[in-house]
Amino acid sequence: MKENLNCNICGINFKNPIITASGTFGFGREYSNFFDLNFLGGISVKGLTLNPRDGNMPPRICETPMGILNSVGLQNPGVDEFIKTEIPFLRRYSTNIIVNVSGNSIEDYCRIVEKISNSDIDIIEMNISCPNIKAGGMAFGTSESMVYEVVSNAKKYSKKPLFVKLSPNVTDISLIAKAAENAGADGFSLINTLLGMRININNRNPMLANIIGGLSGPAIFPIAIKMIYQIRQISKLPIIGMGGISSWQDAIEMMIAGANIIAVGTALFADPYVPIKILNGMKTYMKNNNIININDIVNTCVINND
């Protein structure tokens, strides 16, 4: 019996539920030296903006217990350059292209969603939760009314499934998710990084030039599980789950919590082959547990009340 890893998300077929997370995988070129990108269910590309962005001053990274803080600041070549040079490269592979987009205003989001909708991509991941840019970004993702406003407007310009990437830096993520769903979101992507800061005790300088940054890696995994579980209780929309996955066990756990597909990010820095290892481990888990269809494990957390 062959394990079925196919997932259907908003009418788009994923050959398996493993994608790479935005910001950790560039546009796929660098990691294509290590493994065949055809192995991936999809690739979420480095966050794009309408115009090219230089990004923040270095240092942009510091290591923390079981995690990293980053403040890249959305350095990217702009959406037009992406469409011209990166889509043709990615389309050489049979893997879905998930395009992560950010803006400084509602107008920005509408324009970039419109532009990218008219290109050959599969899903738009609307980033309303970037902690590393001054204007916009996370500001849109932390208030219900702003989320409703920006998503409902962007939705008018979207011809592709529109996923909203949610910030964990909120009091109640399910309220934000509900606002996005009411505004017409086709799915959720979560979690983005958690805000954090470190200080060098010798010179007392912040370890990041931007002072604060976004925490990722295994340190945030339990938070991601909790938030995905929370949203799964109140919504039937598809969820791309991410946050600290570094093994196939983590991937399975996140799907049990309610994610339909999962993204691996920071773990790639330690091991470029981690998506392949997750894929193999997932198959073995299915075999050992008589699971024929991977979708059967989604949202199957068992709560014993006795």
Partner 1 sequence: MPKNVFCKIISNLKIAENIYSMNLVGNFENIKILPGQFIHIKCINLLRRPISICNVISENCINIVFEIRGEGTRWLAERKVEDSLDIIIPLGNGFNLNMSGKNPLFIGGGIGVPPLLFCTKQINGNAILGFNNIKKVILENEFNNYTKNKVIVMTNDGSYGIKGLVTDTLEKSIKNYTSIYACGPKLMLKEIAKLAFKNNIFCQISLEEHMGCGIGACLVCACKVKTNNSYIYKHVCRDGPVFDAKEIFEF
Q: What is the DSSP string of 116-137?
A: HHTSS-SEEEEE---TT-SSSG
In 3D, which of 220, 191, 195, 193 has the Cα closest to residue 210? Answer: 195
4: number of CA atoms within 13 Å, CB side? Answer: 9
Can 10 be counted among the known catalytic residues?
no
Does residue 77 bind partner 1 (CB under 8 A)? Answer: no
Quick one: which segment of 20-28, 102-110, 145-153, 295-303 binds partner 1 (CB under 8 A)? 20-28
91 is written with which tokens?
């389309």
141 is written with which tokens?
């993702």
Of 56 and 189, which CB lies nearer to partner 1 in the complex structure?
A: 56
**One of 70, 100, 127, 158 touching partner 1 (CB under 8 A):** 70
Of 41 and 244, which CB lies nearer to partner 1 in the complex structure?
A: 244
d(CA 38, CA 95): 6
SS3 at position 164: strand
Q: How far is the CB of 52 from partner 1 (least distance, A)?
A: 9
Q: How far is the CB of 101 from partner 1 (least distance, A)?
A: 17
In 3D, which of 293, 290, 222, 233 has the Cα closest to residue 258? Answer: 233
Q: Report helix angle 173-182 to 221-234, nearest 10.
A: 50
Binding mask 269-288 for partner 1 (x = CB under 8 A): xxxxx---------------
- The Cβ of residue 270 has, within 10 Å, a number of other Cβ atoms equal to 9
- Strands 213-216 and 239-241, by their bridges, are unpaired
Does residue 62 bind partner 1 (CB under 8 A)? Answer: yes
Does residue 82 bind partner 1 (CB under 8 A)? Answer: no
Q: Is 155:106 a contact under the CB 8 Å cutoff?
A: no
Site size toward partner 1 (CB under 8 A) is: 34
Binding mask 25-54 for partner 1 (x = CB under 8 A): xx---xx-xx-----------x-------x
Q: How far is the CB of 302 from partner 1 (least distance, A)?
A: 31
**One of 6, 59, 153, 247 touching partner 1 (CB under 8 A):** 59
144 is written with which tokens?
């219900």
Does residue 55 bind partner 1 (CB under 8 A)? Answer: yes
The residues with which 125 forms a beta bridge, in sequence order, are 100, 163
Of 7, 62, 130, 301, the catalytic one is 130
Binding mask 286-305 for partner 1 (x = CB under 8 A): --------------------
Contact positions vs partner 1 (CB under 8 A): 23-26, 30-31, 33-34, 46, 54-63, 66-68, 70, 72, 75, 217-218, 266, 268-273
Residues annotated catalytic, as ranges: 130
